[in-house]
A and B are shown apart, each in its own frame.
Chain A
Amino acid sequence: MTLNTFKSALFSVLFLTVSFFGYASEDAHSENKEEFNPKEMILHHVKDAYGMHIIDINGHPISIPLPIILYTDSGLTTFMSSEFHHDYNGEVVVEKDGQRFVNVHEKIYRLNDGETTVKYDAEHHPINAERPWDFSITRNVFMMWVSVIVLLFIFLTTAKQYKKSGNYVPKGIASFMEPLIVFVRDEIAKPMIGEHKYKRFMPYLLTVFFFIWINNIFGLIPILNGANLSGNIAFTFSLAFCTFLITTFSGNKHYWKHIFWMPGVPVPMKIFLMPIEIVGMFVKPISLMIRLFANITAGHIIILALMSLIFIFETIAVAPVSIAFSLFIGIIEIVVTAIQAYIFTVLSALYFGMATEEAH
């Protein structure tokens, strides 16, 4: 008991030191320039960015430059994000292949020919520039690839251990991963899809579960400055889109009959239900997308808002309170990482189960 308390205290101190310095230094930086704007700071953290910003030391930002890949009318243009010199207010103009690019709030705009500076309308939208097709390796894409490497490392090692031990006794990392895999199979796939058809969907469910989970966890690591991949709607959209495709293409006769001509109800009701069911077909993956995005983003926003309190009140006296609260939220968020991955997987499995259910 005491040991556990001690451990958790130590953990929280470490956790908070890291996150405090991580957030605080950058916030101090932005405060120097102008009045501290918590909304802008939070959105900047939650949204995607070019370049992987690690920390500011004495107002000097340190970041990992990432490649920017743009497709314009005159073909592909690539350069490193460091060429913007950490500017995201559209002040630094990068000239490449005869085209000029600016970074306005972490969105790259191509200035129209002949323009040299970006001009804004009343709502701060650039008026003399347009967005090119943007395939940049942003920090989210970068973290996604890091997570893919970690996942591949974990599970290929696990698989190798099974091959190595002829008697199939899990050892090392396999003994840690096997309960999770069996959990996905026995608690998610089997009850939701059914004993006979679950096997087909197992690879998808497992991949989605671990992919979401690991990215949720990576989003919580402060030093990575919340590369908020699973809190980005583009990412959740992609996963929900995959679920939608699989559900639609594995739907059997019974499933489609349920949507277009609900059995067992009178004809006017059938006609009434049809549009509802068709809308439901799309609402299901959309709710998956929104749920994951909003949960993770909300968690990040709350932690950051609690941290911002220190800078809003401009006193260190608030620090213990906001640290205590953000520690509390942080611990809840650790639980939420797993729960949201679980919910996404369970609901995907549920939809697959509905699509492949036999008539009864």
Chain B
Amino acid sequence: MMHARQIAVKTGRGGTEIRRETRLEGATLTIGRSTTNRIQLSGLGVGLHHAEFFMADGGVSIRGLEGHEIFVNGIAVIETRLATDDVIRIQQHEIRLNAPGDGLDLDFELVELERSGDALQELEKRTRVGLDRGLFTQRKLSWLLVAAILVAFAWGPLFVGTLETSWSSGPMARAHAGIATQCESCHLQGFEPVGDDACRSCHESVGEHIDPEHPHVGIDCASCHVEHNGSLGLTDLEQSFCVECHNADLSPPDLQSAEDFGVHHPLFSVELESPESRPAGRFRVEANPREAPGIRFNHVHHTVTGVVDSRTGDERILACGECHEPEPGGKGISDISFERHCQDCHSLGFDTEAGKREAIHGDPVAMRQSLREFFAWQELEKVQSARQSTNAAPSLRRGRPGANITPEQRREIAASVETLVERASHFLMRDETRGVCIGCHDVLRGEASDGGDDVAPVTIPRRWMTRSIFDHRSHRFSECTDCHPDAADESDLGSTDAGHIGLPDRANCRECHAGGHASEPFIPSNCVMCHEFHILGNTP
């Protein structure tokens, strides 16, 4: 029989220590979870029958039951003899042995080190409902995202090169592809629009529209050239921009107000350098101004009635394009060149002993000089051939010029050359019936620098409508006569002489072109379709 005293020590919720004493006796004292044990220990980790105290050799021992180990002074044992001050640990319980007092075999304190609490509280402690904890809260995520965005896209582009393009509002025009990632090459200064300086640093020679000193300027490159708007266009063709100035009297005095080609647009004017009986200037097309170009030319003959090839004698009708060839690129029409366009039919030939020869075109003085040279050669040749009839060695037949010509011979030759030149020149420039030069040109008798006849200067303007651009190429599917009907008009209106200006008037263009907002069947035509903004030569 074993006598024991147990002092259960607990700590209450308030922190106070509770000690309760119990006397136990029995052959053995079992320890375990079950209520059948003498010493009951709470906690599910404790075995149902965990261990027992028993008497052995006059002392108290402990042994584990059902395979449970016990920790005595921190060492795992199955069975051991106990001594005072030993500490036995079973799960969260400690059994501390004291020196047994009178009549006791065993005296111990039972201490519960930790305790399980109220089931509901424990459950609630293990419960985490609601989303306002940890990083995943609306506010924290908001701050994080906002901070990240501000760093990456507000601070970043200003200080980190690679982030700069994130501010690009759209693809750059193809022309600028080379500088697409170099924002600072255009955007020189924050909060300032891209200035003309930036554009002109590359585009040095672009002409100004008006005098840069003009007080009403307020126009910069970016007004029309909008970047970041796709890879194709770069030019804002909005005509209201033009109209803003041109519909008012702000324009230079010689400019007339315009609003829209289809609605309000000045009549067409031509720039004439040598108008008939008037000083040079601008004239309305509709007024049929005439020109004195210093040449005679009948379009109708060439295109309708037919002309005779002076070489072959064949009759020919010419197409416009046979003379009016497009310039390279096709936009403009090349100048008429005598050599290329006229000479085939209009021979400058004159008869000589040596056969038919052609005079050179363009400069009467030079022409006469060439005639003189030719005839001199011809006369000298005659002298030479006369000498060759002697039996001189062939190598000697060609002697030093002049060496073997007598002064008389020279005088003779000179006189006959002059006569021949005179005769040929007369034939070319004064013979009305043959009309070699005189057919097209006015001959000014004796007015040339060498005292001979001269040809009045020909003044065909390069362009008549100097303030607009006409692209012949984009009109290439039209007939020439759609716009220039006079050139093939047999009636009185036909272009029968060179003074006639066969240019289309406003009405003619309006047959197809009808202002900026035209709809079918008309072609929308805003200002810049015909008018160049950057006036060449207006370089700052």
**Are A and B a genuine interacting pair, yes or no?**
no
Binding site for B on A (CB under 8 A): none
Binding site for A on B (CB under 8 A): none
